[in-house]
Amino acid sequence: MGHPPIVLENDALEVVMLPEHGARLHRIRAFGVDLLRTPDDPASHGSEPFFWGAYVMAPWCNRARPGPMEVAGRTVDLAPNFPDGSAIHGQVYGSRWTAADDGWLTVSGGGDGWPWRYQVRLRPTLVGSTLELLCELTNRSDDPMPAGLGLHPWFRRPLEVRVPAETVYSRNTDSPDRPQAVDGTAFDLRTTSMPPGELDATWSSLIPPSVRLRWPDVAIEAELEIATRAAACLAVATPTDPDATAVEPQTHGPDGLRRLINGEPDALTMLAPGGTLSLALRLRVQRVAV
């Protein structure tokens, strides 16, 4: 029998997590309002794993090239899992995770074209009007392993966004090897506003203050703080379908394996055997004046 949903709640927030479906956040409800694209039937996370709620990405985020490639002395041979032919969002988004009494959710991975063993842990905590998520990726192999870690939320619209970054990779498919300046482009999101449609890009070198999210129709705002010793990047996607906006904190840029092989910036992190990559996220919600 599977693990039941995990529910955390207080006067400001209700959070529902599904260990059976990638430990994903099925629901974040602030002041009675759903902030995520949440399905009526939780089983939809299994049939359409990429487009609901919020899920952990590991051991890589964003896109990777399928097929064999030599990385750190081993052969990576990933199968495509997305219509564009890429290997996207890692391996644990749909896995069955184990929930422990100490609040940690855990999953082990490796194989399926990824020649290293690893463990991913996630610990959610509510502190007043703040949801804290601590994610950890640990190399359980005997050799160094490339590593990436992130969270992929689909937030309901209408959503205004502020991204405190001066540079961006303008596309996540066939991404450029170097980021470009956002000045004078549609990628300048340094002021809170409705982002343009059909974005699929990654901002690099995030700087304080935090990423800002605002739902103008329900007068709710959130600050998203991102802490990691790796590269702090943020992917934003505004597709026509689904009717939601992805705002994805992650520890490397798009096509992180290619970046590692070619010595490009914002590559995956090399983890020594037993080493751990951490990503701490804090989503602080509040009501705002109309």
User: Can you give the CATH number for the domain in which 90 is found?
Assistant: 2.70.98.10
Span 172-193, mean pLDDT?
Answer: 97
Residue 172, classed as helix, strand or coil, is coil
Q: What does each C-alpha distance from 54 to 19, 57, 267, 288 come to in angstroms?
A: 12, 10, 23, 24
In a domain, 34, yes or no: yes
The CA distance from 34 to 40, in Å, is 12
Where helices occur in the chain by DSSP H, the ranges are 44-47, 256-262
Residue 100 lies in a domain: yes
Determine the Cα–Cα distance for residues 47 and 145; give it in Å rounded to an integer: 30
Q: Please give the pLDDT value at position 238.
A: 98
Which domain, by its residues, includes 121? 6-287
What pLDDT was estimated at residue 3?
83
1 has a pLDDT exceeding 60: no
Averaged over 70-91, what is the pLDDT?
A: 96
pLDDT tens digits, residue range 49-76? 999 999 999 999 999 999 999 999 999 9
| Count: domains in the chain | 1
Domain annotation covers residue 71: yes
Q: Is 270 part of any domain? A: yes
1 inside domain: no
Percent of the chain with pLDDT over 90: 97
